[in-house]
Every structure is written in structure tokens, then in C-alpha cells.
Amino acid sequence: MSGLAGLLASGTPVVTAEFPVVDADMSALVRHADRLRGWADAVNVTDNTAAHAHASNVAVAVAVRRLGLDPIMQVVCRDKNRLALQADIVGAALHGVRAVCCMTGDDVTAGDEPEARPVFDLDGPRLVRAAASLAEGRYLSGRRLDPAPELLVGAVESPGFLPHSRPVERAVQKVQAGARFLQLQICYHQDRLAAFMAGVARAGLTARAAFLPTICLVEGVRGLRFMDGKLPGVSVPAETIDRVERAADPSAAAYDLALEQARHALGLPGVRGLHLVDFRGGDAVPRLLSDLRISRRPPAVPA
């Protein structure tokens, strides 16, 4: 079973991190792995993120595992039908990749090849159900899969979406379909994140799945403006942008903002840890976790 599954079962605060996008440069993949090893319990391997083609999620997930990290392989509905999606999940599991994060995915118009034909044979909740079915030893067709792969199935959700009830309803669908962890989109509105977590707690989801809010480490105001204008479902309050822009040291102010968000998120009932997206590089992740008094993590899988 995924090392992440054991940590989620133990009650230990969990730290996952986004693994930077790689293409054909294996040395870059090794550098990224070296930087995150010992700090993240598991790392997300993206699947053509933001509708841009990159190295295969399966290939990168297998390579990441061989480098001693526990991969969470994102699987996106946009580019493949149910046959290919199931094949990717089973094929990755054959190499020891157990954790998958199921996503509908951005439309192709968000990327640099808008003429591509989107698939969307499944959506996020139905892909969660498909992955859960594989873990139970059945393809969607009903054909047996023996032995069944030991899978930890996850999903994503956007707590900043209004009205508050809608993301809670979607979270209910995904947990009922078989999701055991949900990584939450970055939310710069603390009241919305708090309202979402209160909603999923009332729905009884926090006893059934782990919720991991995202914290983005950006260098300054440029990163905040990009997320506010370019990332679907993300809005950054004008006063937050202004706070960083007017600071004597915008880089320090951006870091302090991330630290403040992380402390707030960890204080919410039902939050089981954090998902980190690092745009600063360097020692940003170790520094943040040290300031949060989260110690170094032992290797998740043998290198």
C-alpha cells in the first residue's frame, strides 16, 4: 500500500507537494526529487497540467518512485477515454505507484494547443468510482482484475467556489464514489476555506477522507496576480495583493502570507495536513515546514 495511506491512517499530519513539471530532462527530475526528499510525505505527478503536453504522468510517477519518493499520480479525464485511464492506473500500479488523484481537468482552451480534441468520457467523480472499482478487482466493464491493485484513491476540490454549498456537494459525491483524500485548490479567502471545512464536517466527510488545503509559495505580487487572473476557480482579494505589493520587502511579505495561510488551515477542524505548491524554489519548503514545526520526514519508499 502507498506510504501515504499508512500516514493518513495513523493520524500524523501529512505533507504532500506538487512535483515540478518535467519534460525530457531526467537530471531536472533528479534535482527536484533531491529537493523534496525528506520534506514531503508524497508528491503529486501532474497529468498534462493546464492543458499543456508534458512527459507522461505514468513515466514520471514510476521514475519518482525509483528515486525514493511516494508519488501521487494525477489522472485527468480531458485527454483519454475510460479504457486508457484504467490502463494508466493499472499499469502504474504494476510498478508500485499506488496513490492516484482523479481530476476532470481544464478544457483544452486553457492550454497552448486549443485545437486538440477533448475527450471527457468520464468526469472527476466517475473516474474516482472507476479507480475504486479497480481497487476492488473489477474493471468498469465488470471484468475481473486479479489480483486487484492496492490503490489509494484521491480527488480535488475548490473550497473558494461560491455558493459554499456547491463544493461541499461535489466533495460528498467524490467521497461516496471512493475518494479517501481530497487536495483542495488554493484559497486566499480564509472565511471560505473555513466554511467549506465546516460543511464537509457536518456532512460526515472528515471521518471518511483526509482534507489537504493547498498552500502556494510565490516570490511576490506577480505570482498572486497570475493566480487571480489565470487560474480557474481562484481569486485573490485586492487587499491581499496590495499588502504584498506595498510591503518594503514583497518577497518576505509573500512568504509571510503563505505561512499565515498554512497556520490558519492547520487550525481548522478536519484538516489532516497540507499540499504545497512551490514557485519560490531554494529552501522555501524546508523553511515553511520548519516554521510550522513540522519535522523532516523519513523516506517514503526505498530509493
Quote the pLDDT of residue 301. 60
Mean residue pLDDT across the chain: 94
Whether 127 maps to a domain, the answer reads yes
Retrieve residue 69's grid coordinates.
519518493
Give the model's pLDDT for residue 232: 77
Is there a domain that residue 275 lies in?
A: yes
- Tally of structural domains, the chain: 1
* 154 is a domain residue: yes
pLDDT in tens, 225-266: 999 988 877 899 999 999 999 999 999 999 999 999 999 999
d(CA 218, CA 226) in angstroms, rounded, equals 10
Show the cell assigned to 107: 478544457
Q: Read off the pLDDT of residues 4-21 as tens digits, 9 standing for 90 and up.
A: 988 998 878 899 999 999
1 has pLDDT over 60: no
With respect to residue 299, please indicate whether it lies within any of the assigned structural domains.
no
In this prediction, residue 78 carries a pLDDT of 97
The confidence band for 163, taking pLDDT boundaries of 50, 70 and 90, is: confident
Q: How confident is the model at residue 303 (pLDDT cuts 50, 70, 90)?
A: very low
Domain membership flag for residue 298: no
pLDDT in tens, 191-232: 999 999 999 999 999 999 999 999 999 999 999 999 998 887
Q: What is the DSSP letter of 204?
A: T
Q: Per-residue pLDDT for 121 more than 60?
A: yes
Quickly state the pLDDT bin for 299 (edges 50, 70, 90).
low
CATH of the domain at 192: 3.20.20.220
Report the sign of the C-alpha dihedral through residues 268, 105, 1, 302, in that order. negative
Q: Mean pLDDT throughout 106-117?
A: 92
C-alpha grid cell, residue 276: 504545497
296 within domain boundaries: no
Q: Note whether 159 and 192 are within 8 A (CB).
A: yes
The three three-digit cell numbers of residue 153, written as one number: 484513491
Task: Give the domain extent around 66.
Answer: 3-291
Whether residue 89 is predicted with pLDDT greater than 80 in this model: the reply is yes
Residue-level pLDDT at 295: 83
Q: Which of 281, 279, 272 is nearest to 15 (CA)?
A: 272
Mean pLDDT of 42-61: 96
Task: Answer whether residue 284 is part of any domain.
Answer: yes
Global pTM? 0.94
185-202 burial, b at 16+ Cβ within 10 Å, e below that, comes to bbbbbeebbbbbbbbbbe
Q: Is residue 300 part of a domain?
A: no
